[in-house]
């Protein structure tokens, strides 16, 4: 059974089983790795990277060592398309290739956990309260909180401006 693949201008790859009608709006069709390589010869390298990074279940890359390797990896990956036959585009989002990174949980009983609990309370926390709970000096508490909490919605401090004088 021969599968025909199509790729549109949005880099969506669709697998068509033998005898299935092929979409008219598809930019290109290919049935073998060699045909894909011929098509990819005219594409910029950035498109190959975007195609690869949009395939489900692959490790995103920044570049390929060669066009031949890129084509081979894409060809291998699309052989495993799910029953719908469509490889959906991944949402791009910075260096993670669309994957969201889970924030690590603070260690139980740590000062970080204490500070986050205090900041997430509805009334928030003053710098003085944080200093008392952690035994930090003002300059250290100030420096410790600034890079981690201000503007970080997970922390609960919002966009407050912290300084030693906000006690």
pLDDT digits (tens, 9 = 90+) for 38-92: 998 888 889 999 999 888 888 889 989 999 999 999 998 888 765 454 555 444 4
Q: Which of 35-44, 98-107, 125-134 has the highest mean pLDDT?
A: 35-44
> Looking at per-residue confidence, does 142 or 122 come out higher?
122
Q: In the prediction, which pLDDT does 73 show?
A: 92
Q: In the prediction, which pLDDT does 34 show?
A: 92
Contacts 24+ apart (CB under 8 A), 75-83: 75/33, 75/36, 77/52, 78/5, 78/13, 78/15, 81/13, 81/15, 82/56
Q: In the prediction, which pLDDT does 163 show?
A: 47
Instruction: List residues bridging with 16 in a β-sheet.
Output: 4
CB contact at 8 A, 130 and 110: no
| DSSP strand pairing (86-87 vs 28-30) | unpaired
């Amino acid at each position: 059974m021969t599968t025909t693949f199509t790729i549109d201008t949005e880099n969506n790859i669709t697998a068509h089983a033998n005898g299935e009608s092929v979409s008219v709006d598809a930019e290109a069709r290919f049935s073998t790795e060699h045909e894909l390589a011929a098509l990819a010869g005219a594409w910029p390298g950035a498109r190959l990277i975007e195609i690869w990074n949009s395939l489900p279940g692959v490790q995103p890359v920044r570049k390929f060592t060669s066009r031949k390797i890129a084509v081979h990896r894409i060809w291998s990956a699309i052989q495993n398309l799910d029953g719908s036959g469509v490889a959906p585009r991944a949402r791009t989002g910075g260096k993670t290739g669309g994957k969201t990174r889970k924030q690590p949980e603070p260690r139980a009983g740590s000062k970080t956990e204490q500070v986050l609990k205090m900041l997430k309370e509805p009334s928030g926390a003053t710098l003085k309260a944080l200093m008392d709970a952690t035994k930090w000096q003002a300059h250290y508490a100030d420096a410790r909180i600034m890079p981690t909490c201000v503007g970080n919605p997970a922390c609960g401090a919002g966009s407050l401006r912290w300084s030693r004088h906000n006690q």
